[in-house]
Amino acid sequence: MIFDRNNEKQVVALLGAGSMGTAIVRRIGAGKKILLGDISEKALERVSEDFGHCGYDVETMVVNALHRDSVEAFAHRAAELGPVMHFIDTAGASPNQANPEHIVDLDMVGTGLAIDAFSEVMAAGGSGLIISSQAAYMYPIPNDIELQLVNTPTEGLKDVPFVKEVAMQNSGLAYMIAKRINHLQAQRAAATSWRKRRARINTISPGVIVTPLAYDEFNANGEGYQRMIDASAAGRTGTSDEIAEAAAFLLGEHARFITGTDLLIDGGVIAAIRTGEYKLGE
CA distances 76 to 70, 113, 120, 126, 251, Å, are 10, 13, 9, 15, 21
The C-alpha atoms of residue 126 and residue 148 are separated, in whole angstroms, by 28
Residue 60 parent element (H or E): strand 57-62
Angle of CA points 251, 73, 104, to nearest 5°: 70
Three-state SS for 262? Answer: strand
The C-alpha atoms of residue 89 and residue 68 are separated, in whole angstroms, by 15
Q: 66-72 long-range contacts, Cβ below 8 Å, gap at least 24? A: 66/105, 66/106, 66/109, 66/110, 67/113, 68/113, 68/117, 71/15, 71/110, 71/113, 71/114, 71/117, 72/113, 72/117, 72/120
The residue among 196, 199, 208 whose CA lies nearest residue 265 is 208
Contact predicate 146/221, CB 8 Å: no
**Which amino acids are annotated catalytic?**
175, 179
In single-letter form, the type of residue at position 89 comes to D
Please report, for the chain, how many H helices and E strands are present, in that order. Answer: 12, 7
The C-alpha atoms of residue 183 and residue 188 are separated, in whole angstroms, by 9
- 3-state helix, strand and coil shares in percent for the chain, rounded to the nearest 5: 50, 15, 30
Residue 128 parent element (H or E): strand 122-131
